[in-house]
Homo-oligomer: A and B are copies of this chain.
Amino acid sequence: MNNPSTSAPSTRTRIRRLPELANYERHALYEIIDQSYVCHIAFNDGESTHCMPTACWRQDDYLYIHGSNGGRLTKTLLAGAQVSIAITHIDGLVLARSAFSHTMNYRSAVIYGVFEAVEGNINKMAAMDTFMDKIAEGRKTEARPGNDKELAATSVLRISLAEAATKISNTNPVDKEEDLDLPVWAGVLPMSVKHGEPIHMENGAIATPDYVTHWQKSV
């Protein structure tokens, strides 16, 4: 289940802890990003180091975020701050027979680099359309599109995924030999994302789109 590759793209993306869990494969990285609606961005603004959650999406080999032009995050990132971005999915609690052998199953990605602005309304709109497709495929043709004023007030930023590493743990409990016969339950308590029943604002006056109808079945 773990699929380490033989090389990391940089010294700081080399996994130091549990290197056998490292997985530098692109498809794993893409899946971790594509399944998450939020990333955590670490940056230093010259005074403090910050960790900020923000919505994210991916196109090709870039991670995208957006924000208002006047926001601190946007301004600091576009000033060239070096960032580290982490995305983590917790897939389960792994209960071993001894306390210190307990662990979690997870999939995480860490990305290093510097953001760049997506320039021009056509490029910004294309990036925002990709974001909308992630939220609800097809909705970009239904919702009122952003107008020039809305687009002008919004910054779209992207960062290359060239310097990224993933770490995946997907394991059953592993106990020391001498603990295996202890009368202690061992196993995995799985966790995942649940989609709840959609909340309709429309009282049936407007046809329900497929992505709403299928929301609860889509995970």
A41 to B145, CA, bound (A): 36
A102 with B44: CB separation less than 8 A: no
Q: Is the CB of B199 within 8 A of A185?
A: no
A142 within 8 A of B: yes
A78 touches B (CB below 8 Å): no
Q: Does A119 contact B (CB under 8 A)?
A: no
Taking CB atoms, residues of chain B closer than 8 Å to A43 are 42, 49
> Are the C-beta atoms of B189 and A202 separated by less than 8 Å?
no
Pick from B86, B112, B189: contact of A195, CB below 8 A.
B189
Instruction: List A40-91 residues whose CB lies under 8 Å from chain B.
Output: 40-44, 47-53, 55, 67-68, 71-73, 81-86, 88, 90
- How many protomers of this protein does the assembly include? 2
Interface residues on A, range: 35 or more
Task: Choose among B72, B154, B172 the residue that contacts A16 (Cβ–Cβ < 8 A).
Answer: B72
Residues of B within 8 A of A81 (CB): 49
Q: Are A207 and B190 closer than 8 Å at their CB atoms?
A: no
User: What 5 A-B pairs have minimum CB-CB distances, sorted nearest first?
Assistant: A42-B42, A190-B196, A194-B194, A42-B51, A40-B40
Q: Can you add 20 more A-B contacts, CB < 8 Å, to A97-B144, A188-B199?
A: A12-B50, A17-B73, A37-B191, A40-B42, A41-B51, A42-B43, A44-B44, A48-B82, A49-B49, A51-B85, A97-B143, A98-B145, A99-B132, A99-B146, A136-B189, A185-B212, A187-B199, A189-B199, A191-B196, A192-B193
